[in-house]
Amino acid sequence: MYKADLMIENKGVCMAELSEKVQGIKAEFQDKIDQVSDLKTLEELRVAYVGKKGQVKVLMGTLRDIKDPDVKRAAAVEFNKLREYVEGNLDENRRRIENVEYDRQIEAETVDMTMPGRTHETGARHPLSDIETECMEILRMLGFEYVDGPEIETPAHNFDVLNIPEYHPARDMQDTFWLENDLLLRSHTTTVQARVLESRHDLPIKIVSPGKVYRNEAVDATHLACFHQFEGLCVDKGIRFTDLKGTIEHVIRSIFGSNWQVRFKPKFYPYTEPSVGMDISEKVTSGEPKWITIGGAGMVHPQVFRNLGHDPEQVSGFAFGMGISRMVSMRHGLDHIKTLYEGDLRVHQAVAHKRFEM
């Protein structure tokens, strides 16, 4: 390698020696740059030759040691030509390497427009959430408001204030899961109605309280240990049983269509009197309709009003509860409601897009 620090030290040096050293550095540089194939190596070569401590810079710094002005002038011309040659080659090779890398990137990122596209499946709400939202919107237009409540309850709100004392057989019908400190998982969302009646005394009171409830019972095609309810309460002066029937029929026909019908049958619930069970069925032109029970309803029991601080002589009201899991099953023709809780996206998507076939 030709080192600039071995350059001219006195004015007796001739131009032939300077030219030889310049040509040596030039040849060495050309040999190295011909082997460069990436920008990192090219940058290292630039620093080695035209950087602050590069060979060309050091060589030009030796001009101060040349005493003869004619030799100094000629050497400066040679050194500048060498610097321009090195910098020109560096720039040219930088463009060459950048073009090569750009072409390589274009080739790697090329998209074949003839290939099939990648589609994204359309999402949808869970069928239970979907029908719950529909019920809520329908009742909101009738003046009802949404109210939520705790799923971990006290026996008082789940049973006692709702006219289900400890000795009452209805406690066996609604056997639930008991927790520590005499707490339990609510067996119905009627607990929310009890809390609202306990805390509010301004009329009217019109609420809906959807949510999960729990029953300690065997799981079969139409029963689950955990399922969803959608309950409503309307309390005011002069509320009648006909108001209850009209509200339920309006909700069912708004959800299912005008070709669906509601059947009310006598039922017993400790917290309503009179009480009815609610069945729904699609109208058929021949044969017997297939009825399925979707919930219960009734006029709020006078004792419940008293337990929660209201005078049954001054106010009246109705309450209803609907099993939206069964409503989804009826709407889409599902044989087993537990398929809605198993997390099978194929079932959920099929129901959501109304393409489910049993």
The tokens of 188 are what?
């119905």
Residue-wise pLDDT tens digits, 34-48: 888 888 888 888 888
* Architecture of the structural domain at 127-352: 2-Layer Sandwich (3.30)
Q: For the residues 48-71, what does the mean pLDDT come to? A: 81
Name the pLDDT band for 18 (thresholds 50, 70, 90): confident
The domain locations on the chain are 4-108, 127-352
Most confident of the following: 16-25, 166-175, 266-275: 266-275
pLDDT for the residue numbered 218: 64
Residue-wise pLDDT tens digits, 164-179: 887 777 666 567 788 8
What are the DSSP calls for 296-355, one per residue? EEEEEPHHHHHHTT--TTT-EEEEEEE-HHHHHHHHHT-S-GGGGGS--HHHHHHHHTT-
Q: What are the C-alpha distances in Å from 230 to residues 62, 110, 279, 283, 321?
A: 94, 54, 15, 24, 6
pLDDT of residue 251 exceeding 80? yes
User: Percentage helix, strand, coil, to 5, in the chain?
Assistant: 45, 20, 35
Residue-wise pLDDT tens digits, 171-217: 665 677 888 888 989 988 899 999 999 999 999 999 999 988 888 76
pLDDT of residue 222 exceeding 80? no
